Amino acid sequence: MIAITGATGQLGHYVIESLMKTVPASQIVAIVRNPAKAQALAAQGITVRQADYGDEAALTSALQGVEKTTADLFQRSGSTCPAAS
């Protein structure tokens, strides 16, 4: 499975749009802070998982079973995301 962080943002939207041309929706995981904003993704068959970038436990849980991910979350406000270390 491939996880897209920030899936409801502008970059995440474009990444998912492009990815869906070559990968089945069932193989895509959208990592979002607010699942309500990801209803359209879920309706397309994409798995939606909630995690905040600052919550290591939630992020670790959301990434279970994921083989690849985007890396836009690993550098925020000058500090490294603990789950990426």
Locate the domains of the chain by residue range. 2-84
Q: How far apart are CA 37 and CA 4, in angstroms?
A: 14
**Stated pTM of the model:** 0.80
Fold of 2-84: Rossmann fold (3.40.50)
List of residues 6+ apart from 9 with CB closer than 8 A: none
Q: How far apart are CA 8 and CA 23, in angstroms?
A: 18
pLDDT at 78: 53
Q: How far apart are CA 76 and CA 83, in angstroms?
A: 12
Examine the pLDDT at 41 and tell me if it is beyond 90.
yes
pLDDT at 11: 87
Q: How far apart are CA 2 and CA 12, in angstroms?
A: 12
pLDDT at 40: 96
Stretch 32-46: mean pLDDT: 96
pLDDT tier at 81, thresholds 50, 70, 90: low
